[in-house]
Amino acid sequence: MDAHVYVSGDADLITAKGDGGHGVMDYHLQELAIANDPSDRRRIMPNLEETDRRILDVGCGAGQTLIGSAPLPEVLAVGVDSDHSALKLGTQLTDAVCFVAARGESLPFGNESFDLVISRVALPYMNVSNALNEISRVLRAGGRIWLVLHPFERTLKELMSNLVRFEIKAGIYRLWVLTNGVTLHLFGKQWMWTLKPGKYESFQTSGAVRRLLPAAGFERIEITRGQHFVVTAVKGRPRV
């Protein structure tokens, strides 16, 4: 498969020229190093099965999770992200992934296009409910999801760090993230950051996950809380 980046809704290709900024490159290269090192305690990867012939990574960055998972050559691996710089870097790192520029809340694929959908620490930056509905739509019945989420403790730690350093603007933003996580947990709702249209961020809880996933058509939900907040589930089959 030729590596390329498609813009959702546009037939033109984005060429893989430029490094997309040293900050973006350094971050994603570090993440790729972690993904490729089984001895790294920060590494968390999905378990691929023989039936996973079409895999979608929502919020893929430069494709590091797909690259580290090392799917077989005949497997269709697709990565979606809204960050064009990360996608361009991805085309330089691998030719085994098809990169698509799009938002997780509006996936440019047909119904039941994939067998497995993964999303590693990307869903917290989306409208979670809308993204889960889109993931369910493009996933076949009986297909699996693998998600890594942000727990409350992470957001609280970041807020405390902002306060200690007197980072007022960052602290206000983190308070908004905290509030979003609370409303997501209690009511299944989120608020968009008014200063940047389309921007969302929240922490997630096990309770919210167990309510949102069935609403999006998922069952057999398993949640692991340790060093990582990992969620797996299966899309239910239509009821006759």
CATH number, domain containing residue 83: 3.40.50.150
The residues, any chain, with a CB within 8 Å of residue 216's CB and separated by 6 or more, are 129, 132, 133, 135, 136
Does 240 map to a domain? no
164 falls in which pLDDT band (50, 70, 90)? very high
Question: What is residue 183's predicted lDDT score, i.e. its pLDDT?
Answer: 97
Q: Do residue 52 and residue 166 come from a single domain?
A: no
80 and 136 share one domain:
yes
Total domains in the fold of the chain: 2
Residue 19's pLDDT is 40
Average pLDDT of span 125-146: 98
pLDDT, residue 10, reads 35
- Per-residue pLDDT reduced to its tens digit, 27-76: 888 998 999 899 998 999 999 999 999 999 999 999 999 999 989 899 99
Cβ proximity of 105 and 126 under 8 Å? yes
109 and 19, same domain (yes or no):
yes
Task: Round to whole Å and give the CA distance between 9 and 108.
Answer: 8
- Residue 137 tokens, joined: 């739509």
* Cα 220 to Cα 235: distance, rounded to the nearest angstrom: 8
- The answer to whether position 139 is within a domain reads yes
Look up the domain containing 137 and give its range: 5-151+204-235
Together in a domain, 129 and 99: yes
**Residues 169, 222: one domain?**
no
Question: Are residues 25 and 83 part of one domain?
Answer: yes
Chain segment 177-210, per-residue pLDDT in tens: 999 999 999 999 999 998 888 899 999 999 999 9
Q: Are 168 and 223 found together in one domain?
A: no
Distances (CA, A) of 43 to 32, 34, 79, 97, 149: 10, 6, 19, 20, 14
